[in-house]
Amino acid sequence: MAKHEEVEIAVASPSATVESTLGARWGAEVFGTFLLVFGGAGTAIFAAKFGGDGNPLGVGFLGVALAFGLTVLAGAYAVGSISGGHFNPAVTLGLAASGRFAWKDVLGYIVAQLVGGVIASALLAAIVAGAPGGFQSSVFAGASNGYGEGSPNGFNLVSVLLIEIILTAVFVYVILGVTSARAPSGFAPLTIGLTLTLIHLISIPVDNTSVNPARSIATAIFGGSVPISQVWVFIVAPIAGALLAGFTFKLLFDSVKK
Q: What is the pLDDT of residue 3?
A: 38
CB 215 within 8 A of CB 209: no
pLDDT digits (tens, 9 = 90+) for 137-187: 999 999 999 999 999 999 999 999 999 999 999 999 999 999 998 888 889
Q: What is the pLDDT of residue 52?
A: 54
CA 137 to chain CA mean position, Å: 22
Q: pTM of this prediction?
A: 0.90
**19: helix, strand or coil:** strand
Q: What is the pLDDT of residue 6?
A: 41
Q: What is the pLDDT of residue 14?
A: 35
- Kindly list the domain boundaries of the chain, sorted by start residue: 5-249
Q: What angle do CA 112, 213, 245 make, to 5 degrees?
A: 105
3-state helix, strand, coil in the chain (%, to 5): 65, 5, 30
pLDDT band at 20 (very low <50, low <70, confident <90, very high): confident
Mean pLDDT, rounded, of the chain: 90
Closest by CA to 143, choosing from 88, 86, 87, 61, is 61
Question: b/e per residue, 48-85, with b = 16+ CB within 10 A?
Answer: bebeeeeeeebbebeebbbbbbbbbbbbbbbbbbbbbb
CB 164 within 8 A of CB 211: yes
Residue with the larger pLDDT of the pair 12 and 248: 248
pLDDT band at 257 (very low <50, low <70, confident <90, very high): low
pLDDT band at 217 (very low <50, low <70, confident <90, very high): very high
pLDDT band at 48 (very low <50, low <70, confident <90, very high): confident
pLDDT band at 234 (very low <50, low <70, confident <90, very high): very high
For residue 87, pLDDT over 70 is answered with yes
**Cβ within 8 Å of residue 98, ≥6 positions away:** 172, 176, 245, 246, 247, 249, 250
Q: What CATH class has 5-249?
A: mainly alpha
Residue with the larger pLDDT of the pair 20 and 54: 20
